[in-house]
Structure 1
């Protein structure tokens, strides 16, 4: 089971952070994640000034030159508003810089702003995503591409440069839409599911749908990989983790800091979400290890990534959480999973 962390690069006007300081920290967290033995580091993409990173490939290129092993993924790339040719070139270049460690997590976007910025029609965002994903896969899998679609000019025997090394994995990022999960399954692409509310039972329904759709068209189980992402913090103890994390979690979700989106969460609601089967991965090392192992045993999850620095958390708090994850929690999880069958639960 792969374990890692990620940043969506949120930034707050009432904090001492700037885009420059946040980018410095985000690069340092990727280096630290590798140093403490984690497998994957993710960076999100946003296009407003409430976030520091609009180009994950550029950030990952900096991390790639300071690391040698960790997988560099996106959480997620907003494929609906981007040109697949330019996107492929950026990540093929990153793949060469990192010697085969680049990945793309392709998503549709939960925000409206990128559509206006890039001149795309949000009312067609599912059609945009489907067509652009088709082209991105063709660019990855074929040396020359002849292609025709609705939303960009056609390609005629196009040779896109540079070519990636290895596989250049493309995951489909799913926020909770059944049709998106089924599409990922039919395509035989790995799916990463954002689990930000409810319990793991909510995730199971989508994962079962994903695997069922993949099996129906003949994809083998080993091809139908699943990742889970969640809000995340590991403290010294469960009580200390909840106490320290709550102010940042409350601010991160609050409509006041999300342009009217979001919701208010009180301490009791947070604690309920952080309970054994809840979506929120906040607690001491033992509690987090148990919850991640639940994802593996009950859902057959292949990868877990925790959002490690949300709500303006101080950098030292983030670094301590990464260190506990890599030094204490990850070895405990790997010890258990190394003795367990690797098969997935039946849908």
Structure 2
């Protein structure tokens, strides 16, 4: 019977370090954008429709490719101000409008989905895009999908363990035989469409050593989601990942860094465009997510050199990315752009500055 590996509770023993180490040289530096499909406001401060928000994302991805970026991801959410419940459908429309940029999720909440359908949707996207699809799997730090699809939060860990195991079986290709407790098993099942090019698979991790070890067990890539505090506190997880890959006999895998931010012409403009909407959003979700309500002083700390927010001019944001990637040995940086209430114009400007000025400067700083 094929089931998920038993979890380990081994804590990373390496102390956080701010001493830079060179990112894995076998993996080239790459830069992406992530969005949750945050509903924007028009010039008069009125929210646009959810339908227009979804249509605008296609234009954002086209702008990202034109700016030279490597990846465009859409995260799964099911809320009024983040209505991206079917990211793969939007990504299919983007695939038809682009030629080079890789496309995928950021993240897919696998716990409340069916691994077979996730595989089928992203293998279809891979076919449509000529091999440009990726998938980032997650347990769901936002739990809206669990009651929506009838899943019990008491099964939170078991659901992700078993479904990740099944997804790993599907990626191998060929008839699949699998048994578990969270869904009916499969016996010599052919799952189509078949992959004719690889489907890069990541697991998004927000601070759980068990998730890091799980990622290494399956030989997936590791995406570190840093949404608060210094990146240095994630250095032990990167070290744990390398050690676990070696112990499981897996090949080295990329490490990515994902954080929110906004780029504008000047530091002051970036702060003015981002802060009020960031404050309102975090305040809104603080009760359910356990976040502290932000103050101006806490915001300034987070956009500072050691904080998790990449908000500022191209030079400011580039310097911060170049500083933080080596701390965890990451070779990829994904900027989560957009906050409910910002304008589409400011987002497009930020995308173009990020691709056109920030990324070249980071490459220059990292040599």
TM-score, normalised relative to structure 2:
0.87
Task: Say yes or no: does 1:6 pair with 2:34.
Answer: yes
1:103 aligns with 2:129: no
Partner of 1:207: 238
In 1, the alpha carbon distance for the partners of 2:202 and 2:86 equals: 18
Give the match for residue 342 of structure 1. Answer: none
Pairwise CA distance, 1:334:
2.3
Measured after TM superposition, the shift of residue 149 of structure 1 is 1.1
Q: CA deviation at 1:90?
A: 0.7
CA distance in 2, matches of 1:162, 1:52: 28
C-alpha change, 1:312 and 1:164, in structure 2 (3 Å) is farther
User: Cα deviations across residues 298-328 of structure 1 (Å, max 9, x unaligned)?
Assistant: 2211111111111321001101111111111
Could you list the per-position Cα deviations for residues 219-275 of structure 1 after superposition, in whole angstroms to 9, with x for gaps in the alignment? 34xx221111111111212232223221111112113x6675443211211111111
> Which stretches in structure 2 are left out of the alignment for 5+ residues?
1-28
- Check the 8 A contact 1:242/1:271 in 2, yes or no: no
* Runs of at least 5 residues in structure 1 that lack an aligned partner in the other structure: 340-347
The match for 2:349 is 320
- Describe the SS at the equivalent of 2:277: helix
Give the CA deviation at 1:135.
0.8
- Structure 1 residue 73 and structure 2 residue 101: aligned? no
Q: List per-residue Cα deviations over 1:162-183 (Å, max 9, x = no partner).
A: 1123110110011211211122
Matched, 1:155 2:186: yes
Counterpart position of 2:220: 189
Task: Give the number of the structure with larger relative contact order, counting CA–CA contacts within 8 Å between residues 6 or more apart.
Answer: 2
Q: Secondary structure at the match of 2:227?
A: coil
Where does 1:1-347 land on structure 2 (aligned, <5 Å)? Answer: 1-11=29-39, 15-220=46-251, 223-255=252-284, 260-261=288-289, 262-337=291-366, 339=367
Instruction: Answer yes or no: is the 8 Å Cα contact 1:288–1:329 preserved in 2.
Output: yes
Q: Secondary structure at the match of 2:133?
A: coil
Matched length: 335
SS of 1:229's equivalent? strand
**Is the CA contact 1:194–1:229 (under 8 Å) kept in the aligned structure 2?**
yes
| Farther-moved stretch of structure 1 (315-324 vs 263-272) | 263-272
